Amino acid sequence: MTGLDEQDLERRGFEGFVKVSELRQGVQRVPSQKGVYAVLRLSESEPAFLPRSPASWFKGKDPTVSQAELSENWVHGAQTLYIGSADDLRARIDLLIQFSDAGQARSVFHWGGRLLWQLADSDDLAVAWKAAPAGIGSAQRDLVIEFREEFGQLPYANLRLPPARTSGAI
């Protein structure tokens, strides 16, 4: 595999690598600390995209993305699909999982990463995290830039480059 895959992230101190299906049962194992997180697809099979997103709507907006856009954003050969940061990893990952829940009646405030939930195997995605007390925004940006340099585009579900902040390499 290439950089920013499961082995590379483990070497960088990421932990967890817990399936979304397991996180739906609870996120207690995720630390309530500042840090960065990554969502990975460990399967090497070609992705299958759902025609409609099962995720919660946000501010009245349907999270569904066209099949063409999903295919265009797909990064062949990459395990990492999304890189995020949070002041509280447990709260953010819990929100990410809530957003993915099909048929939820309420709107959830987490629009980032919405392309993840149109993958037919989204329950098998793995979430990894690394506590980083300082410079989380920069750490996220640095990882996204590193990914873009290696693969020529942003991770599949990162739709824009995170804003520049104070340094804090991971």
CA distance 129 to 17: 8
For residue 121, name the pLDDT band (cuts at 50, 70, 90). Answer: very high
> pLDDT-derived band of residue 105, with 50, 70 and 90 as boundaries?
very low
Instruction: Give pLDDT, residue 100.
Output: 64
Average pLDDT over residues 113-141: 88
Query: pLDDT of 22-75, one tens digit each?
Result: 998 999 999 999 999 999 999 999 999 999 887 766 677 777 889 999 999 999
pLDDT averaged over every residue in the chain: 86
- What pLDDT score does 95 carry? 80
167, 86, 60, 124: CA torsion to nearest 10: 110
Residues 156, 69: contact at Cβ < 8 Å?
A: no
pLDDT at position 103 is: 46
The predicted pLDDT at position 94 comes to: 87
Going by C-alpha positions, the residue among 114, 87, 89 that lies closest to residue 27 is 89
Band (130; pLDDT cuts 50, 70, 90): very high
State the Cα–Cα distance between residues 76 and 161, nearest whole angstrom: 19
Answer for the pair 114, 65: CB distance below 8 angstroms, yes or no.
Answer: yes
How high is the pLDDT of residue 114? 81
* pTM of the predicted structure, to 2 decimals: 0.88
Higher pLDDT, 164 or 155: 155
At residue 84, does pLDDT exceed 50?
yes
